[in-house]
Structure 1
Amino acid sequence: KLGLGWPKGVFEYADEFGIDQVINALNQLHSRFNYDLFKPDPLLTQMVQEGKLGQKSGKGFYEYGAAGAVEFKEIILRKEPPLAWIILNRPQRLNSLTATMMEELSRALDMLWDDRDVRVVIIRGAGDRAFSAGADVTSFSGPLHTYYFFINNRKFQEAVSKIERFPKPVIAAIDGYALGGGLEMALACDFRIATDKSELGQPEIGLGILPGAGGTQRLIKLVGMAKAKELIMLGDRIKAEEAYRIGLVNKVVPKEKFEDEVRSFALRLAQGPPIALTYAKYAINFGTQMPVDLGLMLEAAFFSMAVNTKDAQEGVMAFLTRRRAEFKGE
């Protein structure tokens, strides 16, 4: 994949734009400038003739499943504009996390990063037993030099941190276990909704290790230092209701209403102004990592940028005319 330092590779952009549209654009450029450089490559023409138009046809440079589902090895990406679902797809292993899964998660987020059809992303586990039971412990087997373990762990951390940096709201939909690295992934999300049968925890201490994907940093911000130390140093699992009581999850819902409740919450978010939501997320996530005065300056900068958007004008007009605002992300 030729990324060229862009959020996506050129082939992914072509699939998203449409191979037929790429050919049309090249033909227009060739007609205007008469440069052979703009002649469509025969491969593109052949792909269109074979019906390989990209995401809209299910196949282009990459293969895509039905109904907007992109096929990966260990995750599923399903688009339902204005929502997108990233499904951790190792139910036989309680959706335990592997290097492959984390790389695919990172790639899926890149694909959705500037997709204007998607306003909210939901991460959930396949099946009804686990969001994710944590890192696949078989990956710890065998000797590994401390340096290389450090490098591999940083890659894991970067994939999780990409959720925190993602410019749109991300919801962790937890049905079952969210343990270890699975909980750490959920901590990086903006919201956590759990079924009443779920259990959450950081049990790494029982393996003689500690959380390695942000648990020691993000858990404190949600539940406070004392409770974070208790969860990490004792390694106990807690029920969903207790997680709600201490502020670890936003909502606890009955299992039978789980998907409807998650979708309803996500659609409410999707009705909001996309640009202001991004600014608010960044001001909260990163403004709290600096002294208050600098955090307030960051907030003021984002506020001044939000005020000058068309969405802000729409919001004011909707308020004055007593109607629901229709935000377009402009």
Structure 2
Amino acid sequence: MGETLEVTEHADRVVVTLNRPAARNAINAAMIAELHDVCTLLERQPRLLLLTGAGGTFAGGADIAELRERGRNEALQGINSRLFDRIARLPLPSVAAIDGYALGGGAELAYACDIRLATSSAVFGNPEPGLGILAAAGACWRLAELAGKSVAKQVLLGGRRLGAEEALRFGLVADIVAPEALLDEAHRVLDRMAASSQAALRLTKLVLDAPGAHPVADDLAQAVLFESEDKRDRMTRFLERRKS
């Protein structure tokens, strides 16, 4: 799609590879713009998203040279946080396939995805306080939601980096796979999703991500799905299989 991403479109999914290997796939302004273009694509034509990085690294952080020049106005624009929020709110689920470093903004990008898979060399961390800033693109609350407040404080305040085994133990990643099998396993996860009803996936994601207790949201989403022909067809096929 541009100079920083490789984008491959399929009927049911879009595969996006962060492709600045010389800069450890650091997230710069060009990459942010191109990822917004991907979001526009997926909002117009909802499909599953697979996000990964080239060269044995997911994303080594934000582009520090650019970050150093940002001031109060840029902070208030939420340049990274608005993008990551948009990715988190995509209609259909996203899977991050993480090899190597996912640090700083790269970690926050991974946290914004719905499911994360990792290789044994994956490393998550948020070293922003060492650069005089905070992890302001979602880590301060997403990491706490994903792995618990104690773990989030160890990473965000104590500078702890989480290896793949720790990330798995804390629930941050769904599985650890060999580097050569990472994309195949990510596609298997997407295959399972693709076999489900798109409407059911969309509404389930909306309900899961809704803040607070939401029994009314559950009921309203289920009411929509109960009236769909897709639901009737799928349940009819299930019942017919049981009879055979």
TM, length-normalised to structure 1: 0.70
Q: Give, in whole Å, the separation in 1 of the partners of 2:224 and 2:43.
A: 20
Could you report, residue by residue, the CA deviation over 1:1-46 in whole angstroms, capped at 9, with x for unpaired residues?
xxxxxxxxxxxxxxxxxxxxxxxxxxxxxxxxxxxxxxxxxxxxxx
The answer to whether residue 47 in structure 2 is matched with residue 131 in structure 1 is no
Aligned to 2:190: 266
| Identity fraction in percent | 33
Q: Structure 1: any 5+ residue segments left out of the alignment?
A: 1-70, 324-330
Q: Which of 44, 50, 55 is equivalent to 1:122? A: 50
Aligned partner of 1:124: which letter? T
| Cross-structure match for 1:247 | 171
- Which aligned pairs between 1:35-184 and structure 2 lie closer than 5 A? 71-115=1-45, 119-128=47-56, 130-142=57-69, 144-146=70-72, 148-152=73-77, 154-184=78-108
Report the secondary structure of 2:45's partner residue.
coil
Whether contact under 8 Å (2:7, 2:16) holds in the other structure is yes
Q: Distance in 1 between matches of 2:189 and 2:159?
A: 31
TM-score between the two structures when normalised by the length of structure 2: 0.94
* Residue in 2 that maps onto 1:322: 241
- How much has 1:238 moved relative to structure 2? 1.5
2:202, 2:109 → 1: CA distance?
19
Residue 299, structure 1, aligned to residue 218, structure 2: yes
Are the aligned partners of 1:135 and 1:180 in contact in 2 as well (CA < 8 Å)?
yes
- Counterpart secondary structure, 1:321: helix
- What is aligned with 2:229? 310
Cα displacement (A) at 1:145:
4.0
The CA deviation string for residues 266-300 of structure 1, in whole angstroms up to 9 with x for no partner, is: 111111110000000110112xx23x2xx111111
CA distance in 2, matches of 1:141, 1:277: 40
**1:308 maps to amino acid:** E
What RMSD in Å do the two structures reach over aligned CA positions?
1.5
Larger relative contact order (Cα-Cα within 8 Å, sequence gap ≥ 6): 2
Q: Deviation digits for residues 122-169 of structure 1, max 9, x if unmatched?
A: 0111221x1101111111334x542x13234x1321111111110011
1:82 Cα deviation (Å)? 2.0
**Runs of 4+ deviating beyond 6 Å:** none
Identify unmatched segments of 5+ residues in structure 2: none
1:305 and 1:120 map into 2 onto residues whose CA distance is 21
- Larger Rg: 1 or 2? 1
Determine if contact 1:164/1:285 at 8 Å carries over to the other structure.
no
Tell me if the contact between 1:131 and 1:175 (Cα under 8 Å) persists in the aligned partners: yes
Offset of residue 114 of structure 1: 3.3
